[in-house]
Amino acid sequence: MFKKVLIANRGEVAVRITNTLQQMGIVAVAVHSEPDRWGLHVRRADEAYALEGETAADTYLRINRIIEVAKSCGADAIHPGYGFLSENAAFAQACIDAGIVFIGPTPDVIRKMGDKMIAKTTLADAGVPVVPGYWDNGNADIATLEREAERIGYPVLIKAAAGGGGKGMRVARTPDELRSGVDVARRESVSAFGDDRVFLEKYVTSPRHVEFQIFGDSTGRAVHMFERECSIQRRHQKIIEESPSPALSPELREKMAAAAVRTAEAIGYTGAGTVEFILDESGSFYFLEVNTRLQVEHPITEMRLQLDLVRLQVEVAAGMPLTFEQNDLEPAGHAIECRIYAEDAARGFLPSVGEIRQFDAPAGANVRLDSGVFAGDHVTVYYDPMLAKLAVWGQTRDEALARMAWALRRFVVTGVTTNIAFLASVIRHPQFQKGEYDTHFLDAFDLEDGEQIPDEVLVAAAMLAGRTKATGHGEKAVTTSASPWRNAGRWRGV
Amino acid sequence: MAHKTMLKHASRPEPICVSTETIGDRSSREYRVTVGDRTLEAEIEIAPDGSGRMRLAGKVVRFFGSRRGDDIQVWYGGRVYDFKIADTRQSAGAVKRSAMLPELTAPMPGTILRILVGDGDELVARQPLIIMESMKMEMTISAPAAGRVKEITCAEGELVEMGALLVRLQVSEDDDAGDEEAGENEAQNA
């Protein structure tokens, strides 16, 4: 087993990996940017080394510098976490070249799955269902596109080959819409990317995002660890995940799980990965992509299976085979995760920066917190504003929902604006409670607002206002008028 | 005599007038709190970390409070309430004029993506002036009112600190278009 592992990441995931490494008796090494030098992941690590710089590009994305640190401190392996370099084939290769184990799949698998077209073709060949579409070289004439759209079946999605972020994307429900949509998509794509190639894909009207955790070892064996339902998204980013999915019948689960395992076997997957699917109302599902890393929402899988996925990742990377069979995995109960972001739901989920004045998280049986921050910490503009992940488990979905509602109501974060109250209103929503939702759920979500300020709040505010020199916690406050929070207030209307 | 403070909250058009006074001797934790035209009696204790307990109308509840200069935050029942102490010396008119300050600054550190106007350009209220990027988000900085661009003090591609001066404006004096929405930074997905 490894003696020392470097974690090439920051925030809650670096803390979470540190915990497992230390529990395994492995020395955990942190790397950090300048703004993160007092961060929680640095405090928890056994050793910490600076990556000089502030931005992600100058620090957590600098392959050579990270390898250099790993070599000089004598790390046997590097865990990339998620994000940053976790799905970078060049980084995985650089680790191998330096004689350091990369905790993840092979560079070849990362490269293949990172290219959406190669991933789709590889998996279609392996018998995994992919979204029906028309891809050729992207220069097909309109007559060909019309014929292909008929074959795929309307509505279809017109996608720019070079596209991204919704640019050059159009939905067509009729041949007329197809003709005008192709023109618009081509024009948009030329102006945005200098490329007029377009493709067609079946448009799934009420999609759910359901993914399966997979795990492979170096003997070529792969298992699935059941699903996570991740349809609650804002800006195409998940904020609430649950397992099991309220949308899967046992038969459908079995079919999707088999496709996930087929995916893992087809590409010779090692370590932890996730196969993402789109599921439509009729129960048809299509392969979306493989995430070749630990997923943000892995805690809900761990809670249902009583497994530590990071420990398994480390063991598999060290060459150990999985010690269990598919049939040994029996998930129990229901788990839900909420991602706690420093952002303002009332202002288009605008990130909020500044000092975290107070941070008091809920605790209790079947409540798990993966946090990367503490009271007095600062949220900066440099990195993703996710502060923590709150996960709960219950015997039933109803029990888990009630526990999550309690936990969110009990979760205190002040200083930066967070999405906690927003998450609570989603959890309370009747449609969510019934499990009837798709990836568009938050698009039409009405914020609860305009309510009365409770007397308790007015009294507390009056007490704080009445102190010329604010007491207690506020004392330091009066002198820190230059804190970013103060200025961030101007954001709300200059 | 209790000291009166005006508190502003986003949900209220007018500031709320509050004051507190101790009931009994100075060591008492019981207070008489006036909120607008109502008077409430409460027993309150706030610990050094800002966590507090309050007995109000026979019920004991938990809250968190913090203050940074004029900014007050109260956490209660799963929500955070933001207040700002209003400067009582300033009339409502003065507040409105200061909202039309002809200097626009960066609301967050970030990169200047695009500058949409040039020196001397005539502007209408809410006209987008500068697009910035910060934390993977694009935001548009718009004119608070009609007027003219006096001077652009940043360049495309420049990395600016929070509060950095971006543009000086000359606001038309006859124009009263400085409505509340104008000049607000609108963020959108990058």
pLDDT tens for B60-102 read 999 999 999 999 999 999 999 999 998 654 444 333 444 445 7
Q: What's the confidence (pLDDT) of residue A89?
A: 96
Q: Which of B7, B188, B190 sits opposite A465 (nearest CB)?
A: B7
- Please pick, among A16, A293, A339, A357, the residue that the annotation labels catalytic: A293
Per-residue tokens: B117: 């106007």
| Residues A358-408: tens digit of each pLDDT | 999 999 999 999 999 999 999 999 999 999 999 999 999 999 999 999 999
Query: CATH number of A208-444: 3.30.390.50, 3.40.50.2300, 3.30.470.20, 3.40.50.300?
Result: 3.30.470.20
Q: Looking at beta carbons, which residues of chain A come within 8 Å of B85?
A: 465
Distance CA A297, CA A390 (A): 10
* B8 to chain A: closest CA residue: A461
Distance CA A368, CA A363 (A): 7
Distance CA A61, CA A90 (A): 11
| Residues B104-142: tens digit of each pLDDT | 888 777 889 889 998 888 888 778 899 888 766 677 888
| Residues B34-47: tens digit of each pLDDT | 999 999 999 999 99
In which residue are the tokens 């070599």 written? A71
Per-residue tokens: A322: 């999985």
Q: What's the confidence (pLDDT) of residue B189?
A: 37
Q: Looking at beta carbons, which residues of chain B come within 8 Å of A480?
A: 68-69
Query: Is B65 within 8 Å of A460 when comparing Cβ atoms?
Result: yes
| Residues A80-97: tens digit of each pLDDT | 999 999 999 999 999 999
* B86 to chain A: closest CA residue: A465
Q: Looking at beta carbons, which residues of chain A come within 8 Å of B69?
A: 477-478, 480-481, 486
Q: What's the confidence (pLDDT) of residue B101?
A: 57
Q: What's the confidence (pLDDT) of residue A137?
A: 73
ipTM: 0.84
Query: Is B50 within 8 Å of A358 when comparing Cβ atoms?
Result: yes
Residue A187 a catalytic site member: no
| Residues A408-460: tens digit of each pLDDT | 999 999 999 999 999 999 999 999 999 999 999 998 888 776 578 999 999 99
Q: Looking at beta carbons, which residues of chain A come within 8 Å of B108?
A: 353, 381, 488, 491
Q: What is the residue extent of each domain of chain A?
A: 4-103, 133-202, 208-444, 455-492
Number of A/B CB contacts below 8 angstroms equals 212
* B50 to chain A: closest CA residue: A473
Closest by Cα among B90, B98, B86 to B178:
B98
Q: What's the confidence (pLDDT) of residue B133?
A: 80
> Does residue B165 have a pLDDT over 90?
no
Q: What's the confidence (pLDDT) of residue B90?
A: 44
In which residue are the tokens 């080394």 written? A49
Sign, CA torsion A21/A22/A27/A28: positive
Measure in Å the smallest separation between the Cα of B55 and chain A Cα atoms. 9
Contact B129, B143 (CB under 8 A): yes
Average pLDDT, chain A: 91
Average pLDDT, integer, range B44-63: 95
Distance CA B135, CA B38 (A): 44
- Choose between B10 and A425: higher pLDDT: A425
> Does residue B190 have a pLDDT over 80?
no
Query: Is B77 within 8 Å of A351 when comparing Cβ atoms?
Result: no
| Residues A198-226: tens digit of each pLDDT | 889 999 989 999 999 999 999 999 999 99
Q: Looking at beta carbons, which residues of chain B come within 8 Å of A461?
A: 7, 18, 65, 72, 74, 81, 83
Which of the four pLDDT bands, split at 50, 70 and 90, describes residue A165?
low
Contact A41, A30 (CB under 8 A): yes
Q: What's the confidence (pLDDT) of residue A205?
A: 87
A414, A426, A447, best to mutate vs chain B, most B CBs in 10 Å: A414
| Residues A93-119: tens digit of each pLDDT | 999 999 999 999 999 999 999 887 788
Which of the four pLDDT bands, split at 50, 70 and 90, describes residue A475?
very low
Q: What's the confidence (pLDDT) of residue B170?
A: 82
Q: What's the confidence (pLDDT) of residue B181?
A: 35
Which amino acid, one-letter code, is at A401?
L
B135, B166, B184, B186, best to mutate vs chain A, most A CBs in 10 Å: B135
Which ranges constitute the DSSP H helices of A429-482?
Answer: 430-434, 455-465, 474-479
Query: Is B187 within 8 Å of A350 when comparing Cβ atoms?
Result: yes
Q: Which of B77, B84, B162 sits opposite A454 (nearest CB)?
A: B77
Query: Is A487 within 8 Å of B163 when comparing Cβ atoms?
Result: yes
Query: Is B73 within 8 Å of A414 when comparing Cβ atoms?
Result: yes
Query: Is B135 within 8 Å of A381 when comparing Cβ atoms?
Result: yes
Percent of chain A with pLDDT over 70: 93
* B59 to chain A: closest CA residue: A456
> Looking at the domain that runs over A4-103, which CATH code has it been given?
3.40.50.20
Q: Looking at beta carbons, which residues of chain A come within 8 Å of B10?
A: 492
> Does residue A128 have a pLDDT over 70?
yes
CATH fold of A133-202: Dna Ligase; domain 1 (3.30.1490)
> Does residue A230 have a pLDDT over 90?
yes
